[in-house]
């Protein structure tokens, strides 16, 4: 009778075994749980490309240099144009190379392998270039073409073509197509023809 195990102890061992089988290990529960998905990071907005500033129509400065570009009007102390153009410029000194200027008012204007529409200056020099109307105190033309040249002193170097020239003193060999007398006659003839055309149109 003394070797029998009490009933209460058997029930206690069964309950302990059941408790051990039901409870999962802490490490196993953590291993099987899915990892949380990372929150999406909002993309930063792409900055818009900066637009190039348009070229100004008018510039006023002490010194101006234009290369492979152009502006409408400029006022400066010194202006240099290379392979570019200016519509109208007022400056102390203007130099143009492989470019063009529509109208220039300056103390000194130089054109080399370029073109000049109108110039009112103290000193004008045209080298292997073309000029429309030049009014200056002194003008030097070297292997260039000038339509109308009005100056006190004119210096011509190498073959140069001048259509109309009015000058007080000329140095070099140049034979304008029309001198002041021929220009005066041509102007009078043109005026007479224009008046006759107007009269004929009025009678028609």
Mean pLDDT per 10-residue interval, the chain, length 204 residues: 48 47 48 57 54 59 87 92 92 94 95 94 95 94 91 88 86 68 54 61 59
CA dist 177 and 40 (Å) reads: 84
Q: In the prediction, which pLDDT does 34 show?
A: 58
CA dihedral 95, 101, 107, 108 (to 10 degrees): 30
Instruction: Note whether residue 173 is domain-resident.
Output: yes
Report the length, in residues, of the chain: 204
Tell me what pLDDT residue 168 has. 85
d(CA 141, CA 125): 6
Residue 202 inside a domain? The answer is no
Range of the domain at 104: 58-179
pLDDT attached to residue 106: 95
Q: Output DSSP code: residue 178.
A: B
pTM for this entry: 0.59
Q: How many domains does the chain have?
A: 1
**166 domain residue, yes or no:** yes
Distance CA 126, CA 115 (A): 9
81-108, pLDDT tens digit by residue?
Answer: 999 999 999 999 999 999 999 999 999 9
Could you identify the residue written with the tokens 């003839």? 189
Question: Helices marked H in 114-179 — which ranges?
Answer: none
Question: What's the CA gap between 199 and 204, in Å, rounded?
Answer: 9
The H or E element that residue 73 is part of is: strand 70-82
- pLDDT for 174: 74
Instruction: Tell whether 122 is covered by a domain.
Output: yes
8 within some domain: no
Residue 158 has a pLDDT of: 81
Provide the edge-to-edge strand list for the sheet that holds 130-142.
58-67, 70-82, 85-97, 100-112, 115-127, 130-142, 145-157, 161-171
- Rounded to the nearest 5 degrees, what angle is found at the Cα of 31, between the Cα atoms of 28 and 34? 135
Establish if 132 belongs to a structural domain: yes
pLDDT for residue 138:
95
User: Residue 7: its pLDDT value, please?
Assistant: 46
Instruction: Give the CA distances from residue 117 to residues 79, 121, 135, 166, in Å, rounded to whole numbers and listed in that order.
Output: 16, 13, 11, 18
- For residue 79, what pLDDT is reported? 94
d(C-alpha 122, C-alpha 194), whole Å? 35
In a domain, 83, yes or no: yes
HSE (side-chain half, CA atoms, 13 Å) at 154: 24
């Amino acid at each position: 009778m003394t070797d029998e195990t009490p009933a209460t102890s058997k029930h206690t061992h069964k309950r302990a075994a059941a408790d051990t089988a039901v409870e999962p290990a802490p490490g196993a529960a953590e291993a099987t749980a899915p990892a949380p998905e990372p929150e999406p990071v909002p993309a930063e907005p792409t900055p818009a490309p900066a637009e190039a500033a348009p070229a100004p129509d008018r510039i006023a400065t002490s010194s101006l240099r234009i290369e492979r570009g152009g502006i409408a009007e400029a006022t400066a102390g010194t202006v240099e144009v290379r392979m570019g153009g200016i519509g109208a410029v007022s400056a102390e000194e203007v130099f143009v190379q492989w470019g063009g200027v529509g109208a220039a008012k300056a103390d000194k204007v130089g054109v080399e392998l370029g073109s000049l529409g109108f110039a009112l200056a103290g000193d004008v020099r045209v080298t292997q270039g073309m000029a429309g109307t030049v009014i200056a105190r002194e003008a030097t033309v070297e292997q260039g073409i000038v339509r109308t040249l009005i100056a006190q002193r004119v210096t011509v170097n190498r073959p140069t073509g001048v259509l109309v020239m009015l000058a007080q003193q000329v140095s070099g060999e140049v034979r304008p197509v029309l001198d002041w007398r021929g220009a005066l006659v041509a102007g009078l003839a043109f005026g007479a023809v224009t008046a006759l055309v107007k009269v004929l149109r009025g009678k028609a």
